[in-house]
Structure 1
Amino acid sequence: MLHTLMNSPFQCDFALMLRMLKTGDELLLLQDGVLAALEGSQPLTALLAAPVTLYVLREDVDARGLFAQISAKVTPVSYNDFVALAVKHPQQITW
């Protein structure tokens, strides 16, 4: 399943999202969700412990001027990669 986090991890039910993540799922951080990928943040620590592959939309990171602060443990992707993830996962949930 593809999960997309579009809201700040501080303005959504982040704990519920973490409980819903299952082995093999993929999580894409976009819009204000990219804040969850900030190096040293509590949301990032929780996401890295989850059994998912973690991506961040490069364009949204750049738009917020955060590229230097995003963890190297998160894979940056383009819009084309986002489309490929959506095609790969017919089941999706947005947070």
Structure 2
Amino acid sequence: MLHTLAHSPYHTDLDALLRNVGADDAILLLQDGVIAALSGVPFGERLQSSGATVYALQEDVVARGLSEQISTTIVLIDYTQFVQLTVLHSRQLAW
């Protein structure tokens, strides 16, 4: 399943998201959700501990001026790769 987080992690039920994530799932951070990808914040570490691969939409990271602050464990992707994720994961859950 593809989990998309488009809201700030400060305004998201991260515990509920983590309860629903499996090891074969993917988490995509986009819009204000990219805040969870910042290095040194607990959100990214918690998402990584789920076992799912965590991605962030590069365009949203750049638009917020966060390029130099993103954790190295987060995979930055473009819109084409976003589409590929939706093809790979036929089910999606938006947070």
Normalised TM-score (structure 2): 0.97
**1:86, CA displacement in angstroms?**
0.6
Give the superposition deviation at 1:51.
1.2
Give the distance between the partners of 2:80 and 2:86, measured in 1 at CA: 10
Q: Does 1:41 align with 2:38?
A: no
Q: Number of residues paired by the alignment?
A: 95
> Aligned partner of 2:79: which letter?
Y
Q: 1:84: how far off?
A: 0.5
Runs of at least 4 residues of structure 1 off by over 4 A?
none
Structure 1 alignment gaps of length 5 or more: none
Distance, in Å, in 1 between the alignment partners of 2:18 and 2:51 is 10
SS at match of 2:27: strand
Aligned: 1:5 with 2:5: yes
Taking structure 1 as the reference length, the TM-score comes to 0.97
State the distance in 1 between where 2:93 and 2:25 align. 11
Quote how far apart the aligned CAs of 1:60 are: 0.1
Residue 41 of structure 1: CA displacement?
Answer: 0.3
Partner SS state of residue 11, structure 2: coil
SS of residue paired to 1:71: coil
What's the C-alpha RMSD, in Å, of the aligned pairs? Answer: 0.6
Q: Deviations over 1:47-86 (max 9, x none)?
A: 1111100100000000000010000110000000000101
Partner of 1:60 in structure 2?
60
Name structure 2 gaps, 5 residues minimum: none
